[in-house]
Amino acid sequence: MRLVASDLACTRGGRQVFSAVGFALGKGEALLVSGPNGAGKSSLLRLVAGLVRPTGGRLVLEGGEAELSIGEQAHYLGHQDALKPSLSVRENLAFWTHFLGGGRDAAIEPALAGTGLDAIARLPAAYLSAGQRRRLSIARLIALPRPIWLLDEPTSALDAAGQTALAALMSQHLAGGGLILAAAHGPIGLERAAELRLGAAS
């Protein structure tokens, strides 16, 4: 599997956010997107996820499922943690894994344990701290396996232990042949990741 972008351009609100962006990402590889605020880091991830349309260029997933879009083969972890406050931690995870398709109830408990949320699985999401909410969003990545992880500032709100756990999960995903495209202002625990730096927005 190989994710290839060539000459990608993105325009939002009548303003060109970036242009002529290209990269190639293969199995077991990670790419860290950096750059100042407004350079288009989040827009690039949203474009790959299928949430934003490119205004130029080409994006292809070689060796993926032909009948599925790239977004359907990717997990997008954005700035906001989309949770239903009245549902418990476990119920939120079950909802998302089934809503996204292919979810298995048997995968929910290991995902909660892997993110340190098993002890509070019955707690309503409304009572979670920012860090716990982030870990619940991360649990979705492992409860429903998808080959591409699109991570936008994934360590946001995580404490040191949470960051270490995320680094281990990312390493496991890469070791299994997964791909990671991450946007961040600093290190997030991705060793040997290639870097794509976007310039300041015009």
- List the CATH number of the domain containing 95: 3.40.50.300
Indicate the number of domains in the chain.
Answer: 1
Q: Is residue 82 part of a domain?
A: yes
What per-residue confidence (pLDDT) applies to 200? 53
Residues 6+ apart with CB under 8 A from 108: 90, 93, 94, 97, 143
What per-residue confidence (pLDDT) applies to 102? 64
Splitting the chain (202 residues) into consecutive groups of 10 residues, what average pLDDT does each group show?
96 90 96 92 95 94 93 91 91 88 79 94 95 94 93 93 93 96 90 86 42
Q: Is residue 65 part of a domain?
A: yes
Q: Is residue 46 part of a domain?
A: yes
Q: Is residue 164 part of a domain?
A: yes
Q: Is residue 35 part of a domain?
A: yes
Domain that holds residue 105: 2-197
Q: Is residue 62 part of a domain?
A: yes
Q: Is residue 202 part of a domain?
A: no
Instruction: Record the pTM.
Output: 0.93
What per-residue confidence (pLDDT) applies to 103? 61
Contact between 77 and 49 under an 8 Å Cβ cutoff? The reply is no
